[in-house]
Structure 1
């Protein structure tokens, strides 16, 4: 298949180009280069003026568009027919053959000194420096031989001035520049980045296909390769925007813990009194929905750090799934999809409206948007040391209670386990609930051994007295097909009791198998639901299912036990 066939289809423009732009003003780039937002042309840079030629070898593109204002990004996307304009002015693109990340095509260059820190295995696959050079050389040649104009985003990953990193994203497509602008933290003036020195650079050469991948020992024609020592990554063969976002997240997971700063795949929000909460959870557990609370301020929906000053967002935007999205079930996200947002792989109806129920292209339809599209966002992107941490799980076995309190050791056990369960019918051949364990609720992005993050989190909990809770948004009264899904009303009541501290005023009993503490009474949650055993009509069946699930936890946890790392086995089920 040719490289061009992997790209986007030619667009059909479905609305006036005079669609209203977002408001100007605010923290995360609303005021970015304001005069340019009002219509002036962004100044052109050159590869030499930005030092790109010396740093990357890319020398020949004659035009470099750097940190384009949103109106100009939109003009470029439309002019070059990179996608479609929806009825309300949102731009929509297709990412071609690849509508999600390619985890089996991500590699790290195996060389000193990083090779002694990286956790090598199925997640972090090593390649020789010569393989990186081969792929990178093809990417540079493509830019020098075929690209007349390129886009450069210079900005930050991390709102904390102490812990943030300078990132540079080089792309050939305007919409990928748009994506980077949405997801990373936008500088507030041209002067701010006049002497910009990137800590890490990604060269996105999505049109380059590695036809010689077998000779190079790669998994496919796609390659996303990180060179820690050269502070450089290259993306080839895939157009999917999330590779850039998650690539930098993987690097933050490498840098920060080595400096004693926690890196986390979680959402975060802040109450009106300044109390901060973190929400960990895999896809489908409610992490984004529950953190987007109209009564609290959203710090961020996906990736955060925890340094000596508190919690800070890695990003300047949000990246949400849109499958079955409606104003009724997720109004904050629905209303955020407007001009300056970027839809990916969403089917557009003949009247120009997105069809979020159409999964004919992919179920992983997405939208990225600047965080200020959420009305109650936290302008600083930071919060204090968290009062509460919530681990979200969708337990399709119907075993876990709607909420339980964890000791510090139990918190580490469940953090490392990262448990949720797939329901029958979600994948071919899945006929009963299937456990899904993802270390630290983000195994695909961990660059160090998972216990390194657990040890660091343990220290944070001890230092700041943060409480941890496990909340089940899955089934009660039986497993999938017998019981029923927890009501969002009951889950909200559990979350609210954790956030306002009222849960600590009730009595608790210890679960005889898992050991965590289960509240006896909680406003808004039926007592029969609080104790999951009571919710089952066949309690002997519940006991057997609980033992079965406990065994799955124990079997999974054996991989975290090895010489030289902390063993948290004692805090798991008995």
Structure 2
């Protein structure tokens, strides 16, 4: 199939009598129920299950190797190449498949709240609930914007179309394929809605740097005086909890761009984990799950239709999707100035990283590239002790370009805007997991508040001898002895051994970055 026939084939699909374009939330909710794709919960949300796949399928994700991508993409186990021929053949099969469905749903919207840098997109779905998900996750156009909307990227999701690896050239029945020349994401064989969201994030991670914009996997909020904060962190580090501050307005909870004008949210909604969710712990998320929201793989009582957020029968990865406007304390539109403070969150189960440390630019780039946290004993089969986990730039599955390009952009922006960077450990103190205790949340909140208010910019610090980190000697609201990890351990030799063990893991992980300037590794990392 040549490149000319691809848009013609798509146009033919979009003009079909079975296509439903830009249905409202009530219309989509009705479709979900009438088509028996999901059920209504007691709060008015719809709940759907995703069958075999309850999370992303990274081994089935590909980027088409094309003239424009061949020398730009960081090819490997994350960015797996696939041929134009494989993509074209699957594309034609998927469009033929959708043409034969009774109904196909189309959402038109945007990725990127800053109108100067937003990407017009359309999402074509086999399922109504996936289209409702897209409606809530991306930025919804006004009626006027819809009249002049021309999609520059298309996501096509057909969960019930399964590839034949022997014929189609995929690794399994599932495929998530991005073609940057065809401006298309093709998804099949999986019902997990997160693939739709994350595929567009991957697209933005490729496109935005070409315009001098740093894409970031982080949450962001703004204070009463307009000061902006970014929170990076992997699952379990407290990113959502700590960025939800009643005294600060939320810009976004997961994906942002940092442009020459400041920070903007890439999305129009939130995709929150809701395992063990309670109103007491996460009131914003709990109260946002109402009519129009989408629950994914949450177990619902068959009679009362009340969600049991503690039930992990289907998966630990239960999710809720809802628009940002379901939260009261937000910035609307989701745009703000340049970040004053950047926080890297880690949950160190080794119990040796300080609860807060000030980072130089070199240290910031080192820890950004490292993206460290811990997996805990019992979280996965076979894990009996804490394990160090590194996810480059706190989002390695979604980075098409070499990681060093994102880190270099971050370093330049830190310099340009004099942003203060802090490493905050929400993990263990007084010993490793199983011996020590989890850092008290009020202490962490006090440390972050002091960082955001500039109280730590000029305080006296002490240098950690193993990690080279500058630790404040005093933080309002936090006992001094908590701030230095070595002073919280009863057995100093055990502390030193565990700290050196983690430091060696950092150094071993960093070997994969071949072209990092020497001063980043020398000044940023643990002391050799």
Q: Same fold (TM over 0.5)?
A: yes
Say which of 499, 514, 523 aligns to 2:452.
499
For structure 1, which runs of at least 5 residues remain unmatched after alignment? 1-50
Determine the structure 2 residue equivalent to 1:557: 510
In structure 1, C-alpha distance between the alignment counterparts of 2:10 and 2:297, rounded to whole Å? 34
Deviations, residues 70-127 of structure 1 (Å, cap 9, x unaligned): 1211121122121110112111111111111111100011110111111000100001
Q: Is the 8 A contact 1:347 1:361 kept in 2?
A: yes
The answer to whether 1:121 aligns with 2:76 is: yes
Deviations, residues 281-301 of structure 1 (Å, cap 9, x unaligned): 000101111111111000000
Q: Is the 8 A contact 1:271 1:295 kept in 2?
A: yes
Determine the structure 2 residue equivalent to 1:137: 92
How do 1:113-512 residues align onto structure 2 when only pairs under 5 Å count? Answer: 113-144=68-99, 146-189=100-143, 191-210=144-163, 212-349=164-301, 350-512=303-465
Q: Is the 8 A contact 1:61 1:149 kept in 2?
A: no
Deviations, residues 304-334 of structure 1 (Å, cap 9, x unaligned): 0000110000000000000000011111111
In structure 2, C-alpha distance between the alignment counterparts of 1:115 and 1:429, rounded to whole Å? 38
Q: Is the 8 A contact 1:60 1:143 kept in 2?
A: no
Q: Is the 8 A contact 1:61 1:148 kept in 2?
A: no
Deviation at 1:199, TM superposition (A): 1.2
Q: Is the 8 A contact 2:47 2:295 kept in 1?
A: yes
In structure 2, C-alpha distance between the alignment counterparts of 1:282 and 1:162, rounded to whole Å? 29
In structure 1, C-alpha distance between the alignment counterparts of 2:378 and 2:166, rounded to whole Å? 35
TM, length-normalised to structure 2: 0.96
Deviations, residues 122-156 of structure 1 (Å, cap 9, x unaligned): 10000111111121121011012x21321111110
Seen in structure 2, the aligned counterparts of structure 1 residues 52 and 127 have a Cα distance that, compared at 3 Å, is: closer
In structure 2, C-alpha distance between the alignment counterparts of 1:100 and 1:404, rounded to whole Å? 34
In structure 2, C-alpha distance between the alignment counterparts of 1:55 and 1:206, rounded to whole Å? 18
Q: Is the 8 A contact 2:112 2:118 kept in 1?
A: yes
* Count of residues in correspondence between the two structures: 519
Q: Is the 8 A contact 2:114 2:335 kept in 1?
A: yes
In structure 2, C-alpha distance between the alignment counterparts of 1:488 and 1:66, rounded to whole Å? 46
In structure 1, C-alpha distance between the alignment counterparts of 2:258 and 2:14, rounded to whole Å? 39
Determine the structure 2 residue equivalent to 1:85: 40
Seen in structure 2, the aligned counterparts of structure 1 residues 57 and 103 have a Cα distance that, compared at 3 Å, is: farther
In structure 1, C-alpha distance between the alignment counterparts of 2:231 and 2:284, rounded to whole Å? 17
Deviation at 1:215, TM superposition (A): 4.3
Say which of 467, 471, 474 aligns to 1:514.
467
Query: Mean alpha-carbon deviation: is it higher for 551-560 or for 129-138?
Result: 129-138
For structure 2, which runs of at least 5 residues remain unmatched after alignment? 1-5
Deviations, residues 142-183 of structure 1 (Å, cap 9, x unaligned): 012x21321111110000111110111001211111000010
In structure 2, C-alpha distance between the alignment counterparts of 1:172 and 1:123, rounded to whole Å? 27
How do 1:7-46 residues align onto structure 2 when only pairs under 5 Å count? Answer: none
Deviation at 1:218, TM superposition (A): 2.2
In structure 2, C-alpha distance between the alignment counterparts of 1:57 and 1:346, rounded to whole Å? 37
Determine the structure 2 residue equivalent to 1:12: none
Deviation at 1:214, TM superposition (A): 3.3
Seen in structure 2, the aligned counterparts of structure 1 residues 520 and 237 have a Cα distance that, compared at 3 Å, is: same
In structure 1, C-alpha distance between the alignment counterparts of 2:92 and 2:216, rounded to whole Å? 33
Q: Is the 8 A contact 2:251 2:264 kept in 1?
A: yes
Q: Is the 8 A contact 2:18 2:101 kept in 1?
A: no
Determine the structure 2 residue equivalent to 1:14: none
In structure 1, C-alpha distance between the alignment counterparts of 2:363 and 2:14, rounded to whole Å? 54
* DSSP-derived class of the 2:92 partner: helix
Q: Is the 8 A contact 1:280 1:441 kept in 2?
A: yes
* DSSP-derived class of the 2:344 partner: strand
Deviation at 1:58, TM superposition (A): 2.2
Deviation at 1:54, TM superposition (A): 5.0
Determine the structure 2 residue equivalent to 1:28: none
Deviations, residues 390-425 of structure 1 (Å, cap 9, x unaligned): 000000000001100000000000000000001111
* DSSP-derived class of the 2:185 partner: strand
Deviation at 1:57, TM superposition (A): 5.0
Query: Mean alpha-carbon deviation: is it higher for 175-184 or for 76-85?
Result: 76-85
